Amino acid sequence: MTITITVRKTGSLFITADDAPNVRLIDHEGNEIPKPPEGKPLSLCRCGASSRKPFCDGTHSKIGFLAGEFAQEIAAQVVPSAAVDVAAPVTEIKT
């Protein structure tokens, strides 16, 4: 079965109510994370600001979260010299 995770442009990782029963969430120690009741979608935080992690609580809209590629577009408009090709492989790491 294919489970679709939708990466929202300025918000969470979204899994429909139909797919949610087939998703198992575990923490870093392998413990199961309880999911919302059956029939509800899963919305996982990717902004880091939710007070209900790993679930989205809508805080992303209050903090103006922009996904990396979207934020990169905005940054390049403001500071063109800061433009970075996020898809390019890392060939050098400066310390």
Q: Given the complex with ligand FES, which of 19 and 57 has the nearer CB atom?
A: 57
Shorter beta-carbon distance to ligand FES: residue 48 or 83: 48
Least separation in angstroms between CB 66 and ligand FES: 11
Q: Is the dihedral of CA 79, 85, 11, 63 positive or negative?
A: negative
DSSP 31-60: PBPPPPPTT--EEE--SS--TTTTB--SHH
Q: How far is the CB of 23 from ligand FES (least distance, A)?
A: 17
Which residues are bridge partners to 42 per DSSP? Answer: 15
Q: What residues make contact with ligand FES under the rule CB under 6 A?
A: 11-12, 45-47, 49-50, 56-60
